[in-house]
Chain A
Amino acid sequence: MNVGVLFTGGKDSVFALHCALLNGFSVKCLLIMRSKNPNSWMFHTPGMEIADAYQELTGIPVLIKETEGIKEKELDDLKELLKTAKERYNLYGVYTGAILSDYQRMRINQVCNDLGLVVFSPLWRKDQRTYMKELKRFGFDWIIISTAADKMDHAVGKQLDAPDGVSPAFEGGEAETIVLNAPLYKKRLKVEMEVEKQDEYTQIGKVVDYAIEEL
């Protein structure tokens, strides 16, 4: 049976990809929404400038859909992407890295329900501390690419545990991540970033150069 993975290149969607593969499905595509709205509640924007690189890193075709990121209207763009993917790859369902955001989870389910796709969210309501420890232990190499929280002003470009008051997997949007290597990646990613400090809490890393290296 064929599935796609809603993908950002961040730790949660990369982990969801691994679950899809290890659940025995044939993963036909990585589905990437590239939003122009950095404040979108639906889609992660940091690091999306290198969306094309994921095909080479994972060996799985990437489908990208641009969206203005306008609240609720962005769901129509998501629907279009999923519809194309379903038709092209005869998809049965999609995997997501949703952990605790019902805003994302329910909207994805709404769109998939309309299209006749089932949704697998293997991280849903899992213990975030355990998950973060396992990522490290299992060899997921990730760094923070943007922050939006107190006490994280030097975090971009590093792999850091969440400070007190920040949700352990940054589920409150306190930080976004980018995965450089993972157990089932075919190649490794190397990035060079420039960090833009937008306000006291917000720092956005922009990938200005990247390389794909053999393992």
Chain B
Amino acid sequence: MLLKNCRYIITQNENRDILENKDIRLAETIEEIGDITPRSGEQVIDCKGLIAMPGLINSHTHAAMYVMRGFSEDMPLFDWLNRNWKVEDKYDYNIEYNSSKMAFQEMVSTGTTACLDMWDPDGVIEAARDVGIRLKAGYVVINDKLEEDKVKDLISKAELPVIQPHAVYTVSEEYLVKSKELADRYKVDLHIHASETREEVFECKKKTGKLPVEYLDSIGFLDKNVILAHLGWVANWEIELIKQRGAKVVHCPASNMKLATGGFFPYKEFKDREIVVGLGTDGPVSNNSLDMFREMRMMALKQKDQYWDPSIKAQDVLDTATVNGAKIIGIKAGRISQGYLADIVLLKPNIHMLPLYKNNLISNLVYSATGDAVVKTIINGRIVYDGHTDYSPLDNIKDFISLLKNFK
């Protein structure tokens, strides 16, 4: 496939080059960038006036919750969780699959090409495959339930496997340690919610004498294969531990703000220590959008405001959603460079993004664009979004939507 005459190519390469009026040749990976003559019979997409950028990577989400969007509003985390859990136990494969399918369609239609998803994933994996999005997923350990056969089964099924102990307040030390042992044995990552609320951190301190990240380290859990989501209440000595162990972290600004966790994700401290920071929307019930363009804007505004420091740049934020996300997911992506996966998004600049020129392009993407500007999404060299969304999955879960509608 040849993307011909891209008005701009945001490469996200080492120099963060932005190319003008160039072409991209791709198969499953990116083969060539420059002035390229089409081969005979090659599929050519006219990209005149379009922006090509690396697909965005959502590093923390719960896609299967799509159907519950708007169900639990205006409440703090623990009340929110308790309300959700009352209906989540009604989930079956059908709900998981169809709800996730809608979420993944929302993601690809707004420029996301890969995500790290926390949910019991049978239906989720199938939905991702059908939509064509890259998915890092795996067994969720919660309330001390851990079926090793199922863990193994999911590791074999998932394109990008992971083991996901939910949090220190829902998983005992024994099962956190077991999760870590399994992750090491099968050479997969661990993904956990950590230090999201002050309640969590002070309760952990009372129970264990340590803050959550300190505690995870003390039981041998914190390591280079660990991805910590949220970290709104993390102490600087814990940041040092994250650095020393080589763990990665994910910022979910909109969700934290909506759940009013009052935290402070210390992006600058992480960046200064060269800790990999990804960006996630969290699930559609706590955000309530899966649009990573909107999330980038949230992150930029939240970080500037909380530090009283405008020097956190749009480019920093774009990095979290592309190159850093690729490190978290564990794929060679997040860049438009030769040899990288052909996960590319094409945007048509709309009224929100004008005037547009090379020097304001990244700013306008982060602060002004929304996913509505996406006209095509390409994953693994295949067009997975071309302006069309299939709404039929919602018809397949009408009964569950009725349950939500009438839930008191």
Contacts and interface: CB of A to CB of B under 8 A. Distances in A.
B236 A134 contact: no
Contacts of B195: 22
A134 to B, nearest CB: 7
B20 interface: no
Most buried by B among A21, A122, A137: A21
A22 B234 contact: yes
| Interface size grouping (class) on chain B | 20 to 34
Given A1-B268, A22-B198, A134-B198, A93 B308 contact: yes
B206 A25 contact: no
Interface string B229-271: 0000111101100000000000000000000001110101100
Interface in A5-35: 19, 21-26
B210 to A, nearest CB: 11
B205 interface: yes
A192 to B, nearest CB: 27
Contact of B308 (A22, A25, A118, A137): A118
Nearest to A23: B264
A24 B202 contact: no
Interface string B306-330: 0111000000000000000000000
A19 B184 CA distance: 34
Contacts of A184: 205, 235
B198 A24 contact: no
Nearest to A215: B209
A139 interface: yes
Given A1-B268, A93-B308, A138-B206, A25 B198 contact: no
A139 B235 contact: no
A183 interface: yes
B202 A137 contact: yes
Interface residues of A, number: 18
A23 B308 CA distance: 14
A22 B235 contact: yes
Contacts of B205: 139, 183-184
A139 B211 CA distance: 14
B201 interface: yes
Nearest to A2: B236
A134 B206 CA distance: 13
Contacts of A23: 233, 263-264, 266
A24 B266 contact: yes
A21 B236 contact: yes
B309 to A, nearest CB: 8
A25 B202 contact: no
Contacts of B201: 22
Given A1-B268, A122-B262, A138-B206, A26 B199 contact: no
Contact of B202 (A1, A26, A122, A139): A139
Interface string A183-210: 1100000000000000000000000000
A21 B269 contact: no
A25 B235 CA distance: 7
A137 B307 CA distance: 29
Nearest to B239: A24
B312 to A, nearest CB: 12
A1 B308 CA distance: 13
Contacts of A26: 236
A134 B236 CA distance: 23
Contacts of B307: 118
Contacts of B239: 24
A25 B205 CA distance: 18
8 contacts: A21-B235, A24-B266, A118-B308, A134-B202, A138-B199, A139-B202, A183-B202, A184-B205
Interface of A: 1, 19, 21-26, 93, 118, 122, 126, 134, 137-139, 183-184
Closest 5 CB pairs of A and B: A24-B266, A138-B202, A23-B264, A118-B308, A22-B233
Given A1-B269, A25-B236, 13 more contacts: A19-B264, A22-B235, A23-B233, A24-B236, A24-B238, A26-B236, A93-B308, A134-B198, A137-B199, A138-B198, A138-B199, A138-B203, A138-B206
